[in-house]
Chains A and B, each alone.
Chain A
Amino acid sequence: MKLPQLSVFLENRPGSLLEPLQVLAAADINLVSISLADTEQFGILRLVLKDWEFAKSVLEKDGWVVNVTDVVAVDVDDQPGGLVKMLAVLAEAGINIEYMYAFALRRNVKAVLLFRFEDPDAAIEVLEQAGIGVIQEEELY
């Protein structure tokens, strides 16, 4: 299932990660996952959270530029080769991964991988056909 992910533009300077997170904390918003892509000069903060629409409006009101894209959360078998099996399915189907990151789901101590695909619907279809679990929104929040 597709999950909305917020991306926030940050300049690469001390405190720039702190500021948007302070804004979210002040609005009592909790994060499900966080990832930071960075270059020498700027970074992109990627957030998955439950009340993403509210979070987006809170950030924007504070002057942050926010972009919303869909990512796909995948529950990978916690055993050797678990990720390899899943990646092989995607490779076989010719589906390109733009980027991915992992986080731990605390409820059942599972590793969850978040994938950004150019065409998330096609990726979900391929994964489901191969019997690989795509995590639903309710399981995350």
Chain B
Amino acid sequence: MHTVQPPPIDNAVRDRDETLPRAELEALQLTRLREVVERVAHVPFYREAFALRGITARTIKSLDDLRRLPFTTKDDLRRHHPLGFITVPREQLARIHGSSGTTGKPTFVAYTAKDLQTWSDLCARFLVAGGLQPRHTVHVAFGYGLFTGGFGLHYGIEKVGAAVVPAASGNTRRQIEIIQDLGAEVLVCTPSYALTIAETAREMGIDPRRLPLKFGHFGAEPWTEEMRQQIEADLDILAFNNYGLSEVIGPGVSGECAHRDGMHIQEDHFLVECLDPDTLESVGDGEEGELVFTALTKEAMPLLRYRTRDIARLTREPCACGRTTVRMSRVTGRTDDMLIIRGVNVFPSQIEEALLRVEGTTPHYMIEVERPGTLDQLTVKVEVLPELLSDRMDRMQRLKDRIGKEILTVAGIRANVELAAPRTLERFTGKAKRVVDKRGQN
């Protein structure tokens, strides 16, 4: 399946901890695991779970003891909203980010000043592994905000010593002009936005292959090998994959090296497990399972055994780059119904919550996700019940606008709202299946 090719760029390693012999790495992990168990012991959620299981830092004798620790889920974070998992006094926090919750409220994650340094280092590592050097200029077209993508990559790039252009999201034509004018060699964004840049450049009469870009680091949404090939062909660049989630730290959990054969998990900072989501038993290397991470070095909000709901495979085969860390495959699916739309995590329950705020729009609605060009498109279809119908077009338009606004408020994403005739949307007798994801069908 995998053909070994010479690395397209240098086998650069930023930090010797990335290449520790396994025994040394595991000793470091064990020390750090004891430390983090100690740090979280007074967080009410863990205090309770530890008491039930007789866990203290001293009872952690080997990495196998990880299995005795409790899992942490997004629901647990929601139940301890907003910051019930922090281990330090509020005044020690340096930054708070957030990600979509299953309801209208985001899930918050907190960082100390040291956590921000750690995070920057982790991003710097995968950027260097994927060719970034201090002389480069990097165009970041991730959103800057509660979302961890923009700020995480931004400070990682600065850490490497490269110049960062915080272009953020939106106005693709202008972004292309900025890339041209500043001569950025590196692009950071979602993989689908990379394709949008190529498409928009062509519309502007610019050959996207002649943009100054040489390579790109893409993440925040699942993508395929086919998409990589398309990005590389369209923009004439090398495309690298990276992975992260705000609950674990943000981008920087793992990333590809020059060999681009799986993403190296930064194991000196995170313990990874790959589990059968039903039995919660480990699956073998090379088998699909849910990724579960334990943050070893975070101060403000280290989570134990955080269930990502992301499905992937692990491999421990040595990599030619010299890193000794375990590698993960692309994320191939989810164990829940979360959708990632233009890099934004969206739960169908958020859409339902938005519709509940507009009387008469539930229970008959459908959610459709498509990728007509290069960008995901979310359409919410709502049946028009008698109480919603007006003879006045402005009122009907206002209804559509209002539904769209509520969805934007709750889920943080723009949706096309379509009004449907009554009884035209599917009815469900058992569990409703209101999401139709048509992406990846072409």
The interface bits of chain B over 388-425 (1 if a CB of A lies within 8 angstroms of the residue's CB, else 0) are 01111110110000000000000000000011111110
Within 8 A of B (CB), among A14-56: 16, 37, 39, 41-42, 44, 46
Counting chain B CB atoms within 10 Å of each CB, which of A63, A65, A98, A116 scores highest? Answer: A65
Contacts of A16 in B (CB 8 A): 421
Interface window among A4-12, A73-81, A82-90, A126-134: A4-12
Contacts of A7 in B (CB 8 A): 389-391
A57 located at the interface, meaning its Cβ lies under 8 Å from any Cβ of chain B in the complex: no
The CA-CA distance from A4 to B363 in the complex, in Å, is 30
Shortest distance between the CB of A135 and any CB in chain B (Å): 19
Size range of the interface on A?
20 to 34
Asked whether, in the complex, the Cβ of A41 is within 8 Å of the Cβ of B419, the reply is yes
Contacts of A9 in B (CB 8 A): 384, 389, 419, 421-422
Between A and B, how many residue pairs show CB distances below 8 Å?
54
B146 located at the interface, meaning its Cβ lies under 8 Å from any Cβ of chain A in the complex: no
Asked whether, in the complex, the Cβ of B391 is within 8 Å of the Cβ of A64, the reply is no
Counting chain B CB atoms within 10 Å of each CB, which of A5, A9, A39, A98 scores highest? Answer: A9
Contacts of A69 in B (CB 8 A): 391
A1 located at the interface, meaning its Cβ lies under 8 Å from any Cβ of chain B in the complex: no
A99 located at the interface, meaning its Cβ lies under 8 Å from any Cβ of chain B in the complex: yes
B205 located at the interface, meaning its Cβ lies under 8 Å from any Cβ of chain A in the complex: no
Asked whether, in the complex, the Cβ of A37 is within 8 Å of the Cβ of B393, the reply is yes
Contact among A5, A11, A63 for B391, CB-based, below 8 A? A5
Contact among B389, B392, B419 for A99, CB-based, below 8 A? B392
Contact among B386, B393, B394 for A67, CB-based, below 8 A? B386
* 14 extra A-B contacts, CB within 8 A, seeds A9-B421, A44-B396, A99-B392: A7-B389, A9-B384, A9-B419, A37-B393, A39-B393, A44-B391, A44-B393, A46-B391, A64-B422, A65-B385, A67-B386, A67-B391, A99-B393, A116-B391
List 5 interface pairs A-B (beta carbons < 8 Å), by A numbering: A44-B389, A44-B390, A44-B393, A65-B389, A69-B391
Q: Footprint of B on A, CB under 8 Å?
A: 5, 7, 9-11, 16, 37, 39, 41-42, 44, 46, 63-67, 69, 98-99, 116
